[in-house]
Structure 1
């Protein structure tokens, strides 16, 4: 029997095919047994033909034997079907469901077969993988939000401390009339500056929180049309900073499927950041390859320091250059968040010539 089952190769069969195959084996086995039972009953009848009590009981015994054969055969074939087709995948799925219920997603669901249970296991694995991906994304989001809140609290501490000191100064010396009107006005103006600074920080935090709810609206656009818009924007931003811009392109497609507004926002932040630190020129490289649209902005400035390379995509990081204090330090962080929303990413490095180099990647559907 085991050799017959092995020959049938039930693992490569669907549930219905396996059920039919096992039932064929069952019918052959049961019919064979019943044939032997008929032969046995006939021999018993002949042996007890002249017995005083007769041989009528043989028919009853034969019927009971046939019913037992059919019943035992059904139980055996059902058990065999469960063991070969259902037991292992059900154990795998039960174990996986218990791990998921305990928030353990670091496992894989695998069942080597070609039947419906294998498809169910693959669907379960896909669900587990998606849950793990969503969980990691949520965890990263929480970590980034905690980090953002910590940075925000740290940056607010300084103006608050300054304002507290000035407040104590005024409340201490003003009642005693030991502060001149000129000094008082100067102190109030300083406090007003720090109040405006805190207002900008609060507005920046609101804008960052809105990024999470920003929808992605992809649309089909010609590569040359998009590049023309980007080049025009780069030229305008560079002119405002007294710099020049240049670009080059390479693409394996004429059509892109992207969120144009999101790409424009990332691009303008990158070019503005490059123009801020460039000595004379900002260069832009556009590349479309294997469904990825990449924009690389390179400046001819002094490049990123080691500290900048580690922290440049953090929110509110402004570096140590004097001009860095003129902005909130959100440009590259916003670019990073938006690129990730577009299923891409942001890389910060230094070019071979020494200037800063920022590359944004966007996942796009490409029609060749």
Structure 2
């Protein structure tokens, strides 16, 4: 059996055994073990051929057992006189060294190429893709060894970088929307102020402006200055939302229920306005202040548009808290259902500085949830906020 054929057979057998599943140390041990067995078999085969030829040369026809055959030595007198026998003996013992050297060379090359270089090349290619900004291609582990753990860690990093990139892209889009809203809301009051100032400068010094018209223009200026003050407060509110940190603490959900009841009383609503669903005696980690901040914004919005009553539903389904606030007003229009949570959106054309639903939506997402808008079956608006709890 030739050495190249031996190594091809060895590679086939290692592939069948999925040698990578043993880890690097186990793979190296398996390669060494199988290779040494093959070296021994090849040497035994070589010895058997040489002994056959030597016995044929000296015409030794004695019947021997297998062990006697492999350990057979030519007579010393023949060995000293016959140069062919001497060369056969040299090959007999030199072949063992040769097989071992060849085995070490091929086995080390096989191990490095298949168990080390292939994973390194795969990881290197994956890292290059990540460096180029391509986060969509996972790195697949070739073998179940130490490189698999490294590959999994790099894939986790890739996913985190991809999420971060998407968040940055989304923030960029939101910033464009906010800038557009800023531009829109600044333009209107500034235009009104400028027009009225020009009107006063043009007509008041000449006595062509009556006092009631002057007071009316001054009133418009004052009103729009107040709108600009509200604009300034709006900018501060958005900054606070960006800086808001979620602080999860382990408490009974009954604490949340009590705080909701207290806030309902503050708004002049009865306990009957609250409906509970689920077991609120369980313990969970959540940010009470954040949830109450969201609830207050939703309740304030509902109070603004209600006709007679408001219904609040608090539902617990492990591991989520569902908060529904329903009013009996006119409900959301089609445009409002998709835009009411955007910064500065308001039903009132005179005031675009509404941030209640925007704040509620942002805070809900920070708590691992989502805020949705809908209309009731008959009338009224329904705003639902979902918060994810940590039950461990």
**Cα distance change on mapping 1:79 and 1:56 into 2, 3 Å:** closer
Give the Cα separation in 2 of the matches to 1:308 and 1:200. 22
Q: 1:290 to 1:112 in 2, by over 3 A?
A: farther
Q: Do structure 1's residue 337 and structure 2's residue 362 form an aligned pair?
A: yes
The alpha carbon displacement at 1:37 in A equals 5.6
Alignment of 1:14-33 (within 5 A): 14-33=23-42
Q: Deviations over 1:299-342 (max 9, x none)?
A: 1222111111011111111125xxx8567321011001001111
CA distance in 1 between counterparts of 2:252 and 2:128 reads 49
1:255 corresponds to: 283
In 2, Cα distance between the equivalents of 1:149 and 1:238?
37
**Residue 392 (structure 2) pairs with residue 361 (structure 1):** no
1:238–1:244 contact (8 Å) kept in structure 2:
no
Q: CA RMSD in A?
A: 2.9
Change (3 A) 1:12 1:138: same
Name whichever of 45-54 and 251-260 sits farther off: 45-54
Alignment counterpart, residue 81 of structure 2, candidates 42, 46, 50: 50
1:238/1:275 contact within 8 Å kept: no
**How many angstroms does 1:102 deviate by?**
1.0
Given the alignment, which residue of 238, 241, 251 partners 1:221?
251
Secondary structure of the 2:343 match is: coil
Using the TM superposition, give the Cα deviation of residue 192 of structure 1 relative to its aligned residue in structure 2, in angstroms.
Answer: 2.1
Match 2:225 to one of 172, 181, 195:
195
Q: How does 1:78-227 map to 2 (within 5 A)?
A: 78-111=108-141, 113-180=143-210, 183-227=213-257
Which stretches in structure 1 are left out of the alignment for 5+ residues? none
Q: CA deviation at 1:27?
A: 1.8
Q: Offset of 1:171 from its aligned partner?
A: 3.3
The structure with more radius of gyration? 2
State how far apart, in whole Å, the 1-side matches of 2:288 and 2:105 are: 65
Following superposition of structure 1 onto structure 2, how do residues 240-319 of structure 1 map, counting pairs within 5 Å?
A: 246-252=273-279, 254-319=282-347
Secondary structure of 1:272's aligned partner: helix
Q: Distance in 2 between matches of 1:98 and 1:168?
A: 62
The range that moved more, 230-239 or 125-134, is 230-239
Q: Is the 8 A contact 1:238 1:272 kept in 2?
A: no
**Structure 2: stretches of 5+ with no match in the other structure:** 1-9, 55-72
SS at match of 1:358: strand
The reply on whether 1:74 has 2:74 as its aligned counterpart is no
Q: Secondary structure at the match of 1:13?
A: helix
Q: CA deviation at 1:34?
A: 4.3
Alignment CA distance shift 1:333-1:55 (3 Å): same
Alpha-carbon distance between aligned partners in 1 of 2:83 and 2:219, rounded to the nearest angstrom = 130
Are the structure 2 counterparts of residues 184 and 353 from structure 1 closer, same or farther at C-alpha, using a change threshold of 3 Å?
closer
Instruction: Tell me the distance in 1 between the aligned counterparts of 2:211 and 2:279.
Output: 70
Q: Secondary structure at the match of 1:249?
A: strand
CA displacement, residues 80-111 of structure 1 (integer Å, 9 cap, x when unaligned): 22344334433332222111111111222333
Partner of 1:295, secondary structure, is strand
Q: Is the 8 A contact 2:119 2:142 kept in 1?
A: no
How big is each residue's C-alpha offset from its partner over 1:132-158, in whole Å with a ceiling of 9 and x where there is no partner? 112111211221122111111111111
Distance 1:9 1:307 in 2: 59
Alpha-carbon distance in structure 2 between the residues aligned to 1:252 and 1:86: 55
Instruction: Write the distance in 1 (CA, Å) between the matches of 2:271 and 2:343.
Output: 28
| Kept in 1: contact 2:135–2:162 (CA 8 A) | yes
TM-score by length of 2: 0.82
CA distance in 2, matches of 1:222, 1:142: 38
